[in-house]
């Protein structure tokens, strides 16, 4: 059996349309059509991803071994339409809860109170409706980002406080130190979860991907430099300013530090994921 026919039959077994399979593989519908008619051959990373979607080994997909159908039966999974419907329902429920929380807490505690308590539900609801994959992971990152923003602006608690753990005293408030450690541990857990989620990701270098990663690194370094310069000159620039100006300057410094911190986190995770994906790509290329 030719590769195109195997892709067609396996796609039908999973009740997937060409458009749905194309979305899962991040390609066009025309690409699926060409593969199934043997007008072109999928790249290695797409073959690996298809083997995961169809629940068979790469060898079974390419060579069409007899146990391919058996492997598919052993790994039943919800269809693409079923997953989409579930995400739509969950997303709608979360949005409704978020709007209700906003109305209730806005009446009880004002606009900011309503925004604080409703934003996790609203953001996660939007993620469920917009994102096609890794919804739980992105919701976890979104909630952590919102909590981190609250800690940075409302309490001035920073994860950098853990560096002073041995020098911390009771007068410095141990609750702040515990919160900083909790934030750091949650960040580490999220990074590990992201790496596990992308463990089968294949990174095949191309100009577009390299430009995106390079741009992210350049923006990160730019914010790091700006934050460092602003932090050094802040005390000098505020010596003769009014109290209101001081508050604005300190607020801007917190904002700059927060943005810089998240650019560093984004760059670090992006580099790790793509490095692991590149090693997987090289291993796959060597085997074939």
Question: 3-state DSSP call for residue 116?
Answer: helix
> Of 101, 118, 135, which residue is a domain's last?
135
> Of 90, 117, 135, which residue is a domain's last?
135
Give the CATH number of the domain where residue 47 resides.
Answer: 1.10.260.40
Q: In the numeric block, which tokens belong to residue 252?
A: 């801007």
Distance CA 51, CA 43 (A): 12
Q: Which residues of the chain have pLDDT under 70?
A: 1, 64-80, 232-249, 284-288
Residue 50 lies in a domain: yes
Residue 147 lies in a domain: no
Regarding whether 207 and 288 lie in a shared domain, the answer is: yes
The pTM score is 0.72
> Of 93, 114, 135, which residue is a domain's last?
135
Total of domains in the chain: 3
Regarding whether 99 and 53 lie in a shared domain, the answer is: no
Residue 160 lies in a domain: no
Regarding whether 235 and 220 lie in a shared domain, the answer is: yes
Residue 285 lies in a domain: yes
pLDDT, residue 62, reads: 80
Distance CA 234, CA 225 (A): 14
Distance CA 268, CA 215 (A): 13
Helix, strand, coil % over all residues of the chain, rounded to 5: 80, 0, 20
Residue 117 lies in a domain: yes
Asked if 196 and 215 count as a contact pair (C-beta separation under 8 A), the reply is no
Residue 181 lies in a domain: no
Asked if 159 and 179 count as a contact pair (C-beta separation under 8 A), the reply is no
- Per-residue pLDDT of 122-166, as tens digits, reads 999 999 999 888 899 999 999 999 999 988 888 888 888 899 999
Domain ranges, residue 239: 202-288
């Amino acid at each position: 059996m030719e590769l195109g026919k195997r892709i067609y039959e396996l796609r039908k077994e999973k009740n997937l349309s060409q458009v749905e399979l194309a979305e899962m593989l991040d390609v066009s519908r025309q690409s699926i059509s060409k593969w199934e008619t043997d007008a072109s051959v999928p790249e290695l990373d797409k073959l690996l991803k298809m083997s995961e979607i169809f629940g068979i080994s790469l060898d079974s997909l390419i060579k069409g071994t007899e146990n391919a159908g058996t492997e598919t039966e052993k790994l039943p999974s919800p269809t693409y339409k079923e997953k989409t419907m579930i995400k739509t329902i969950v997303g709608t429920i979360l949005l409704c809860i978020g709007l209700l929380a906003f109305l209730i807490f806005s009446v009880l505690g004002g606009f900011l109170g309503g925004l604080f308590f409703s934003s996790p539900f609203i953001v996660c609801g939007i993620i469920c409706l917009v994102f096609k994959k890794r919804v739980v992971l992105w919701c976890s990152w979104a909630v952590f980002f919102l909590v981190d923003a609250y800690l940075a602006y409302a309490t001035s608690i920073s994860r950098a406080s853990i560096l002073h753990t041995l020098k911390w005293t009771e007068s410095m408030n141990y609750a702040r130190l515990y919160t900083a450690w909790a934030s750091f541990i949650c960040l580490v857990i999220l990074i590990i979860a992201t790496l596990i989620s992308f463990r089968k990701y294949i990174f095949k270098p191309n100009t577009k991907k390299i430009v995106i990663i390079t741009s992210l690194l350049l923006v990160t370094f730019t914010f790091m430099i700006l934050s460092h310069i602003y932090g050094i000159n802040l005390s000098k620039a505020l010596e003769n300013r009014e109290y209101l100006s001081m508050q604005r300057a300190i607020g801007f410094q917190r904002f700059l530090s927060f943005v810089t911190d998240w650019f560093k986190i984004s760059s670090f995770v992006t580099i790790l994921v793509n490095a692991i994906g590149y090693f997987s790509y090289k291993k796959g290329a060597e085997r074939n």
